[in-house]
Amino acid sequence: MIFHMTIQVCGDEKLFNKDLISAFLRTRPPDSQMVESILALLQHYDWNSISVVVENTTKWQATALSLERRTGQKKAWSCDIYIFQEIIFDKTPALDCETIGEIRQMRRLQHDNINPFICATTEPARICIITEFQSRKSLMDALSTTKNDLNCKLIASLALELAKGMLYIHSSDLRCHGNLKSANCLLDSNWTLKIWDFGLHKLRNAVKNPSKNE
């Protein structure tokens, strides 16, 4: 199961993109305990104010929690959007040394064609993975909605970026992606391809009723 929500750092209206935030599709709001756990993991970021916002849906009320941080000096505001991927398990996953080591390896990955892995938090029978959101969504979305706009030059560029990203993963301690497909290739505003949803192979094997969309 995957749900999306936003982390929005409020401030300068010029940096506040409502259209980008509303582009998220959300299935349900998370519980407050999970949100607080996520915020605790994100506190080391140099942000003045963090708000977790989930929009209204037909079945669920919106939830909003904020964490105010005093830095002692004024700093530039920014607006960052993140993807929250929730994985459901039959029982609480065991984070052994192998899995913890893999998470550390994922955090060390830095490449123009790798979508940054921010952090992960575990709750009973589920784990939440946090990565950056890219405005053009996935390659699968682009192929289904803008196929006629993908010229030969852009297609060649995307193929090269995919190869570069995979070569980087294969050369790293992670060694393999494990679930490469068009839905796991994100596109930023400049049409740069960024690979995501890699790693955590042992945990993913314990997923309860895995979805085809994952």
Distance CA 161, CA 178 (A): 18
What's residue 198's pLDDT? 81
User: By the 8 A CB rule, do 127 and 121 touch?
Assistant: yes
pLDDT at 202 > cutoff 90: no
- The mean per-residue pLDDT over the stretch 69-89 comes to 44
Mean pLDDT of the chain: 61
Distances from the Cα of 166 to the Cαs of 25, 107, 120, 128, 146, in angstroms? 28, 16, 22, 24, 24
Q: What confidence category does residue 199 fall into, taking pLDDT thresholds of 50, 70 and 90?
A: confident
Output the pLDDT for position 127.
65
Cα–Cα separations (whole angstroms), residue 28 to 24, 31, 59, 127 = 12, 9, 8, 16
- Position 214 scores a pLDDT of 41
- What integer is the mean pLDDT of 143-162? 84
* 148 against 144, higher pLDDT: 144
One DSSP character per residue, 131-191 reads: EE--TT-BHHHHHHHSGGG--HHHHHHHHHHHHHHHHHHHHSTT---SS--GGGEEE-TT-
Q: pTM higher than 0.85, yes or no? A: no
Statement: residue 65 has pLDDT above 80: no
Residues shown for the chain: 214
Position 119 scores a pLDDT of 65
Most confident of the ranges 18-27, 133-142, 183-192: 183-192
The whole-number pLDDT of residue 53 equals: 38
The answer to whether 169 and 121 have CB atoms below 8 angstroms apart is: no
How deeply is 125 buried, as exposed, middle or buried, from its count of CB atoms within 10 A (0-12, 13-18, 19+)? middle
pLDDT of 136 over the 70 cut: yes
